[in-house]
Chains A and B, each alone.
Chain A
Amino acid sequence: MLLKFFESLYQKVFVSIISRENSIDVYIELYSRDDVVDYMRNNFPTSHINAEILGFIIKYTRETPFSYISVLDTSPFQGALPTCEANMLSFYHDGNQSQYMCHDEKWTSYTSKLDLADTKKRYESTGLDFIFSPFTLLANFFQEKIRDDFALFILIEDTSISLSVFDQSELLFAQYLCMKNNDEVNDLFLDDTLEVLDLEAEIYQIKETFFEDETENFHEDNQRFLLIQNSIKDFYKDEKYKSKFIENIYIADSVGISSRLRDSLEEEMFLTPFVMDIELGEEITKLARMELGL
């Protein structure tokens, strides 16, 4: 009781760290008495936590003992399963080294325990309080749509795509897809496996479609389109999942996707895309506050 009273006297500082391919975004929110007092965000052109980032974070966290640092899970071995029953989990996913988390007693997100430990180690200098699954964030962001609609929900990050199919709060299918960088894509072109050749052919096919615009996002949007396409194919083909024909696709866009991707989803896959910009920092902070019951 006394602790709660003293806790209420302090301002709470929520720090969200978003690792991008070549930079790190830090979003800081100052929270006091059920209200957001102030917030600030900064982008650091580095791939590792350096002194500048530490200085920026410590500047705010040192003011209060109640500071919480959150990140999104970036493990490539994560996903979500359409059940919460322990004996059914192995039916969808074989992973003894995974940590599971049930949501609303309807669906489960999981990730690699080793990668969790690795993430903790990576943020050792700042300390870490929360690691959220991107599927949790996605479910929270599209809360109303998920409750009422049947659709494909996608969170597009810099280097990954979290894809899930919900039918009125019931998870049917989910996949976490890691994107490869440009060099890797080029390397893939050199690879002589059949799968890669298929990918190459598809990439060129898409490339022709978007031939007029040769922007930097070309490869990324190509990749995204292909990954989404393949994932939807998996959903339709895999008998484990209750497949239904997807008409709508809700995209939480944290990177600023091009209209080409939207068009291609619409024209080639006959989906109706709804794109919503998402501020990952704010959404992660929302989850952190929800986790604390604020």
Chain B
Amino acid sequence: MKYSYIKPRHKSLLTKEIQMILAFFSITFFILFATYFFLLMKDYSYKKEMHQLHISRLGIAKNIDNMKVQIKFIEEKSLLAQKIYTKNTVLKDSIKNLFDLVPQRITLSEAKLLENGLILHGITPNKDVYNFMLQAPLRSIFQRTQSSFYPAANGWLRFVSRNYVDEALVLPEELKNEN
């Protein structure tokens, strides 16, 4: 104080208007920052969730691949089963047809179904009956047929008939394995 007996009152920059402006800006900035942090948190949460979903998606994709493999395997199995079923049906029909082929007067004691052939053991009253009534139809089915006879105790003839088809006509490898 150089001239005045008293000191001036304290002057504050924070007038009521300034206080109101500061309060307004403070609230505004608080809301902005709160919103920013809220969005930041949400963004982090979404990213985390997205990461988990990504992992989950990878797991599901892996599962889908496994399932696809399984489906393919099952489809193959199904196809194979269908083929086996068809083959069995064919085989059943063949066996039925085979037994239908055997005349009343020839008795079969053993029949072996081979991959590419059929071996029959039986007894026939004579060669003619065998030749005309059994060998003839067998020849129509198999490419190669061999028959051998030997006499039985009761005067009939025991026979062994070996019948084969060519390799080209054999079932595919897959069916062979299945069998």
Contact = CB atoms under 8 A, between A and B. Distances in A.
Interface in A68-88: 68, 70, 73
A3 B12 CA distance: 9
A136 interface: yes
A186 interface: no
Contact of A290 (B3, B6, B11, B13): B3
Interface residues of A, number: 28
A116 interface: yes
A3 B11 CA distance: 11
Contacts of B18: 65
Contacts of B99: none
A132 B4 CA distance: 5
Interface of B: 1-6, 8-9, 11-15, 18
A133 B5 contact: yes
A101 interface: yes
Contact of B13 (A65, A99, A292): A65
The main secondary structure of chain B at its interface with chain A is loop
A6 interface: yes
Contacts of B13: 3, 6-7, 10, 65
B12 A65 contact: yes
Interface string A51-75: 0000000000000011010100100
A128 B5 CA distance: 11
Interface of A: 3, 6-7, 10, 65-66, 68, 70, 73, 99, 101, 111, 116, 120, 127-133, 136, 140, 287-288, 290-292
B139 to A, nearest CB: 120
Given A65-B15, A65-B18, 4 more contacts: A65-B14, A130-B8, A136-B3, A291-B2
22 contacts: A3-B13, A65-B11, A65-B15, A65-B18, A73-B5, A101-B3, A101-B5, A111-B5, A116-B6, A120-B6, A127-B9, A129-B9, A130-B6, A130-B8, A131-B4, A132-B5, A140-B3, A287-B4, A290-B3, A291-B1, A291-B3, A292-B8
A292 B9 CA distance: 12
B4 A130 contact: yes
Contacts of B6: 116, 120, 128-131
A66 B3 CA distance: 19
Contacts of A70: 4
Contacts of A133: 3, 5
B5 A131 contact: yes
B2 A116 contact: no
B107 to A, nearest CB: 125
A111 B6 CA distance: 12
B45 to A, nearest CB: 41
A128 B6 CA distance: 9
Contacts of B9: 127-129
A7 B18 CA distance: 13
Contacts of B1: 101, 291
B20 to A, nearest CB: 14
Nearest to A286: B3
A66 B11 contact: yes
B12 A130 contact: no
A6 B12 CA distance: 11
A208 B5 CA distance: 43
Contacts of A65: 11-15, 18
Nearest to B7: A129
Contacts of A136: 3
B3 to A, nearest CB: 5
